[in-house]
Amino acid sequence: MQTTEPRFIHSSGYGRVCRRSCSLDFLSSSTFGKGDSRKMSSTRFLFSNGVITQTPDVPPVSSFLEAYSGAYTTTRTHNNISHVLLWEQHLKRLAGSVGILFNTNPEALFGPSWFSSHSSLPASIKPSHYEPIIQSSVNKSMSRVVPLLTKTMNVEYEWAITVLVCGNSSKLAGTLNLDEEKFSRALDVHIHISSYIPMVFGAGGAHLALVGRGRTIASAKHSDWVRHRKSLEKLRPHSVTELLLSNDGEHILEGSVSNFFVVCRRDENSRNADADEGACSSFEVQTAPLGDGVLPGVIRQLVIEVCSDKGIPIREAAPSWSKCELWKEAFITNGLRILQHEDSVRAPSIWNTSESRSLNGIEWEEKHFKGGPGIITTIIEVGIQSHCYLVLL
């Protein structure tokens, strides 16, 4: 296969090209032609260890993740399926998740069979080597997927791409010491692709509800959380689009599938002040720190970088529900929505995390935001575009 250096470019509207050295040879447009605009016969397909399956046999991504133990990440294509958003950053985070799971809870990576057969297996894998292992394994699989992606250009949707890396204990039979090569061979790579229609920024705000405790092993994105968060769905009020997490009902950590941000007045005496571009320093962006137990989201990190570049104060502190009257704006971020402003946030009047609670028994307090994304949220969204490196397919 002919290989060329991949191109990393800024998102639509920012034409500067930036070249970096890496191993994403399969993402070169010269390797795979883009002239075929035929639509695939399915809107979902799954690539697992060299085997491609298409709808109707491919389940929705949530059902797919529930069926496996492993680390995963989700991104999407952009600009009529011609680019992938932040591919390099997602692979780096995925590698970090794999390393964290293997070192702290290998059962979450290899499944329940790990403790019965390999719990005493000595391993010699350097922390810095997880990233090249994952890059090599995932990029090899993606090289088979890209031709399918580029067959579907000139359609009205993008592709959501979820990469799941699982440990396969059966591949370790007879292994006495787990080195990097054996660890790499013991990994299964699954790539789930489904059609996705991106939201237009500002077209619709999110409605959030605080319902559950923070996730376990929050520093890693793993499929165990997908199974666990299903129990929170019974507490989702009608019209709520995302569920928020807190360990005490006061300090908000993140969403079940997103990171959570608020824009606050820095001076409590200026309650009636409105944000404007000349007064950004009068406000600060708040989001819970990683140490509190939140996922290190790829877009979360971009928001921090944008705020630093734009001179917008940002403080990594969990937003306090008791001070919600100081919130002027709020938004959530993840790999698919990128950034979505909030129309409302609600929280229980009495915090209760018992498993016996029901939606009908909850009384809510609610915070509303005035129409559309605020000025600071908009500045951050535009800044994300200019920071958002894409990989050219």
pLDDT tens by residue, 293-321 = 999 999 999 999 999 999 999 999 999 99
Does 207 have pLDDT greater than 70?
yes
What is the per-residue pLDDT for 117? Answer: 67
Separation between Cα atoms, residue 252 and residue 321, nearest integer Å: 7
Between CA 248 and CA 257, with CA 251 as vertex, the angle to 5 degrees is: 95
Q: For residue 328, what pLDDT band results from cuts at 50, 70 and 90?
A: very high
CATH of residue 139's domain is 3.30.470.10
What average pLDDT does the segment 251-271 reach? 87
Same domain, 245 and 324: yes
Specify the DSSP element, H or E, that contains 159. Answer: strand 158-167
What is the per-residue pLDDT for 285? Answer: 98
Same domain, 81 and 140: yes
| Most distant CA atoms of the chain, gap in Å | 69
User: Domain for residue 350, yes or no?
Assistant: yes
Same domain, 136 and 270: no
Angle between helices 298-310 and 375-387 (to 10 degrees): 110
Separation between Cα atoms, residue 132 and residue 110, nearest integer Å: 20
User: Tens of pLDDT along 53-106?
Assistant: 987 889 999 999 999 999 999 999 998 898 999 999 999 999 999 999 999 999
Specify the DSSP element, H or E, that contains 227. Answer: helix 223-228
Last residue within a domain, chosen from 170, 198, 226: 198
What is the per-residue pLDDT for 358? Answer: 86
Same domain, 229 and 186: no
What is the per-residue pLDDT for 56? Answer: 85
Place of tokens 């088979």: 144
Residue 294 has a CB neighbour count (10 Å cut-off) of 24
Domain count, the chain: 2
Specify the DSSP element, H or E, that contains 334. Answer: strand 327-334
Same domain, 167 and 228: no
What is the per-residue pLDDT for 13? Answer: 37
Separation between Cα atoms, residue 54 and residue 41, nearest integer Å: 8
Q: For residue 25, what pLDDT band results from cuts at 50, 70 and 90?
A: very low
What is the per-residue pLDDT for 123? Answer: 78
Q: Which residues contact 200 (CB under 8 A, 6 or more apart)?
A: none
Does 195 have pLDDT greater than 90?
yes
What average pLDDT does the segment 1-12 reach? 39
User: Domain for residue 393, yes or no?
Assistant: no
Q: Cis before residue 237, ω within 30 degrees of 0?
A: no
What is the per-residue pLDDT for 116? Answer: 61
Query: Residue 185: which domain range?
Result: 7-198
Q: Which burial class, exposed, middle or buried, applies to 154 when counting CB atoms under 10 A from its CB (0-12, 13-18, 19+)?
A: exposed
Tell me which residue of 234, 227, 238, 189 sits closest to 211, measured CA to CA.
Answer: 234
pTM comes to 0.86
Of 366 and 12, more confident: 366
Q: Which burial class, exposed, middle or buried, applies to 111 when counting CB atoms under 10 A from its CB (0-12, 13-18, 19+)?
A: middle
What is the per-residue pLDDT for 8? Answer: 39
CA 314 to chain centre: 21
Same domain, 177 and 224: no
Tokens, residue 77: 């294509």
User: Tens of pLDDT along 159-180?
Assistant: 999 999 999 988 887 777 888 8
